[in-house]
Structure formats: structure tokens, C-alpha cells
Chains A and B, each alone.
Chain A
Amino acid sequence: MPVSENSKGQKVWQLHTRNESLIRWFAYLLTVAAFMWCWAKISESTTWYFVWDAPRIAADIGGRALPPKWEYINELWVPIWDTLNIATLGTILALMMAVPVAFLAASNTTPSKVFVRPVALMIIVSTRSINSLIWALLLVSIIGPGVVAGLLAISIRSIGFCAKLLYEAIEEIDQKQIEAITATGASRWQVMLYGIVPQILPAFAGISVFRWDINIRESTVLGLVGAGGIGLQLQSSLNVLAWPQVALILVVILVAVVVGEWVSAKVRGAII
């Protein structure tokens, strides 16, 4: 109770009861302690000499990186094209797989809540939890380096993401519209077509564009593990410490990200 009496018998108002306050303070204490411990661990494995030297190193790298080596752009056109393809085709492929998974995972469309739904949810969780770079690493070691590995990595990572958002949209549809279509004597698939699909189409379009935007960002770094795209050039430039080239690649990536965001905002505006 927030109101208590002090030793003189006067009523005192407090926001929290004593126990609540104790718990709160304890939680704060615990957080601070955990943070300090973690920090000590980080500090242990850090060579502080380098850190104190960091401003000088940063200035040094900056000085060497600028100005970017603009003529290097001619060697980047193909990687840029590859990066775009990885993101776009990867998104398309992901959507093709995410749609059935989403229908199997949504509790109102799944054929079996006991057997099918957990499997679909498992696919969603496992593909979502693992970063596309790890998927790329895995695929490069399975099918070899190249654009295809990157494309597959992006699409696998996107399945869970798209399917999760999509199945939530399916679960939120208006059941009365389904009922009305069922009452006309429509078959199961026709109910899907006329009752469910129109209702989730806007969400589907929004999700696709949203994920495509994210995939543009992610596909720029897949090359670091050999999965094609502009990241390959980044990696090789870093390996030979060609900082002006690195600077140009970063500029290109920034431009790509900004353009991607602009396009996705435009498309979303047009659809919804």
C-alpha cells in the first residue's frame, strides 16, 4: 500500500510499497553489477594500448581512405548488379516458400494444429534466428562460393521473417467474410481465393517490400564470406589495405541503401 504511517503517526505517501521499492533497488543493483562484470570481461580481452591509440589510427585510416578512388567504380558495376540480383531474386524465392509456410502456421488455416503447425513454426523460428551471413557461410561450404550461395542464404533467412509477419496477418483476418464466401457453396480453395487472399494482399505487399529493403542491406556484406556481390570487392580491398577503394565501396553501399529505402517507401505508398 503506497500510504503508510511514519513514527509520528502521520500519513506518508510513496509511489511504491517498501517491498516493491526493495525489489526495484535490487533489480537496479543486479543490472549494474552484471554490467560491471561484463565490462570487466571485455576489458580483460582488450588490448588497451590499441584503444588509446584509436584516435590516431582512425585519423590515419581516414586520411588514407580519402578521397575515395572514384575510377575504381568501373570494376564495381558487375558486383553491384550481382548484389541487386541477390536481394531481389532472394526475396522472390523467399516469398514463394514463405507463403505456404505461413498458411500452414496460421492457426485458422493450418490443416493440422497438432502435426503441421509446430513444424511450420519450427521452420520459421530456425530460419529467422540465424543471420543471413551464417547461412551464407554454410551454403558457401556446401555449394561453393558465388552468387547462388548468397541468393539462397538471403532467401532462407527471409522465409522465417516473411512467414511470421504473414501468418500473423492471416490470423487477424475478418472471419465473417470467410463465412459469407463459404455460405455461397464455394470450395475450400475458392474460399482461400476470395475470402482470405484479398484480405492479406496488402500485408503481403508491404512485407515483400520491407524485406527487400532489408535484403539490399544484407546482400552488400555477403561477399565477405564468399557469397558474391559487392562484399567480395570489399573483402579483397580490405585484405590489401586499399583504403581508397574501401571508401568508394562504402559510398556505393550507402547510396544503394538510400535508394533501396526510397524505392520501398514509394512502392509501399502506391500499394497501401
Chain B
Amino acid sequence: MEKKTVVTEKVPLQTLLEEDGILRSPALAPLVTFPLEVVVPEVRHQTPAVGQRATRPDSRLHGLGQTRYIDDMYFPGMLFARIKRAGIASAHIKSIDTSEAEAMPGVIAVITGRDVPCNSFGPSLKDQPVLADTRVFHAGDGVAAVAAISEQIATDALDKIKVEYEPLTPVLDPLESLKLETPGVHAPSANIYGSKVIKKGDVAKGFAESDYIFEGHFRTQMVEHVPLEPHATIAMWDANGRVSIYSTLGRITLGRADVARTLGIPMSRIRIIATIVGGNFGGKNEITTEPVLALLSKKTGRPVKEVFTRSEEFIASTTRHPLIMDYKTGVTKQGKILARQIRLVLDGGAYCSWSETTLGKACILSAGPYNIENLHAEAFVVYTNKTMTGAMRGFGAPQVCFAYESHMDDIATALGIDPLEIRLLNAFEEGSISPTGQMLQSVVVKESLLRAAERFGWNTDGKASTNGNAQGNTKSNGNAITAGKGNGVAKQLPAHEQATHGPAAHEPAVR
């Protein structure tokens, strides 16, 4: 982006609104100094669209049942594919015998990892085989694929494929995986395949000055996206050497590059058609079996379709990272946070997928929306022989939110402070500096908290009133107050969150 001399004079918001009452008020050009300063309309005055109900353009077709998802499509001569899953967490593949399956009536083609021109892919690290050929890294790895005239025949054929394994001891615990003496999942590569450290101030000094030091240990579990539409693909290889792939893929450009790499053909010969996706949530951000389907189509000369079974969806697609989170926080008697030390260990599963993105975001957000002068946050992501973890709604933000807010409640309880008070005492405000050194603007954490507290009837004694709930729900909300955020991806985020994508973040803060 070209640097320009900067207009420092702010146009009054009211003028802009009067000039154009419908459109979003334009932001002005960036300032010379960093952090970027943008004229942002006051909160809740941004655009008249806020508060309006939006109607989706595709909604009518959905309601009529006329939306064409991949499983609703059929092409003449189409075959159905199924993939044999390893069912073993870690092993050497000694041999794969597909002859019996190939001899079955109705089976048109069988392929294994050896038929894949370049048997590795991945959205960041290329550590994932299309079909495992020599080594199985997790139980959901595909080892062979069958194309047959019906789904049932393809499924039956999987049982006829004989795979001989030499089982290896799997690495299942991320903390074990962290240790140097643990055998590498992808030896000779180390098990730690991503890390991030954020330092601010001096934690040792902060802890020394603190009246109390609290430690908290938090774990979250693996979560599957469970899109209602399972992963599905139709591939059609044509006589010109071009392949058309209908895919439930959210990022087709990226997918095209990965497919080109694995098939060893130029991107110009690959057409990926993104259909309407029946739920993504981050689970369909990368290719899975598209190259396999393309190769089966090439081998048979016919369109080939594959739809994941629900169990494949759980074992062979990406999931949310389980996090092991250690928090240590030094506070004054009044509850002001003076120092915080954090260690995050992300269970990356068998392959990298979007782990680096998740790691970065989890680490940046791990301190919470609080002013902490002395901070040391470190995060590691490790390989284990489990279902790979990748992108899912929030990329690590929900996990750390659970930890820092629970930790905050624990501290408040121990100090006898109202959970709301302790948050108001520490929360970001206009001009606060984020852990990564960015000055924050349009910060409304405290206002939001106060308004939320008012809306659901938070009492000063730290308990939600039983009759304050708008729905008339008589169950107490307990300590259900949180200043953090649990969701949101990439660019369009609440203000305090946008600003965290500062110079230390992997995505440039240019907008």
C-alpha cells in the first residue's frame, strides 16, 4: 500500500451521517505513525443496517428443498467411491493387497497412495499424505480408495482390501509429545511444529510486586464441526487432461493449488466448482479427498462421487484443537492484575492443517481483554497420532477465553471480589495497549459489561438475580459474566479484537 501524507483532521461524524444517511461512513486514510489510526464512527452509529433483519438470497431455495448440494447431483455414468481408513493410530504399512477388491463385480478401480503423483499436501505444512502409503499417522488416514457402481459395493470392497501393518507405539498425550525423548510422530521432524512467545514488561518483577499469585490449569477437548452436510466431492477428469471437481470446499483457490501439487498438473487444468456448502465452520477450509477422487476419475474415465459417512466426518476431517492451558497471575489485594504468565500446549493431531493460525491467535488472545503490564505468554503446538486438528470457528479464541475467564472467576472468588468488579478494574479501555503492542480504539469492553450486567440483572453481591432474566428463566446465571469473546474469525471482529492483529500477528494490519 502506498504511503501518503496524511489527513489528520477528522471530519465530524455528524457531517458524514448527514451527507449520506444510508451508507457506512467512510474511514479516513491512515496516519503516518503506527499504530494505525482510523476515524471510526461511534459505536451503534455506524450504519442504519444494524438492527435490521437481513434476508439471505439463497434462503428461498433452501426452504423449497431446491438447493443443490453435492449429494443432490448426479452425472451420467457416475461411480461411487469409498475410502478405506487405517483404523490404527500409528503403524508402518508393510503391504496393501487390493486384488480381491478389484476382482469384485461392480468395482471399477482401486487406488492406493502409490498412485498419487505427489503424496503430500496441507494448507501450511505439506505434511499430510493424500493416501497413506508407507506410514499411518492416525486412525482416520485413508490407505486405499475404491470406485464402484454403487456405494454399497464400494463399501463392501473395502473389507476385501488386505493391509498388513507393523504397529508402532502411538503418541497420544500432547504433554508427552512435548518432551524431547518422545519419538517423533513425523520423525526426523520434531514434534513441536509451531510456537509463539509474547513478552511484555517484566513478569518476574510483576510477580514480586503482587500481593497474591494464583495458578490455574485448564483443558479443553477435541470438538468436531459436524456440518450437517458431510464432506462431499464429485470429480470428472476429461479427455483434454483437465479435471473438474465439485467440492464442499470453502477455500477453492487454496484447494486448487493443493490439488495441482498432489496431481502434478498445472492449476490451469483444474477447475474447482464450489457448491453451496451445508455447513463449514472451518472444517471445509482445505482439501481432503479431492485428489483421490480426481485420480479415480482419471483411472475410470467416469465421474466419481464420494460423500463422507458421519463416522468418517469424525475421524478423518479436522477438529478443534484441545488446549492444555497453564495460567499464573499476580494481583494486588484489590484485584488489579500486575503480571501474568501463560503456557498453552495445543494438541495438533497428526497433521499441521491450520495449527499455525490457531496457535497464533490463541497466544495473542490468551491474556484476555485486560490491561496487563507484565506478560509472558508462550504457546506450542505438537504432533500426536490423533485426528488432525485445524480451523474451527474462532481459531483458538474460544479455548483461551474459557481459561482466562474461568481463571478470573477463581481469582475473584478467592479475593472476595465481585466477578464484574474485577473485570471492570482490569478491562481494556480506549487507548489500551494490547499484548502485541497495538493501541486499541473503539474499545467498549466496560460499557458492554455494564450494559450486559444491567440487562440480565447482575447484583452487586456477585450473583445474578433470579428474576432478572428476560426469558423468565428462574435458574441463576451464577458467574456467567465474561469480558472475553469466544468466536469470530479473521477480519470483521469486535474492536478490541481487531486491534490485536498488530505488528506481531501473522496477518498484516492494513485495511
Whether chain B is bound by chain A comes out as no
- B residues apposed to A, CB below 8 Å: none
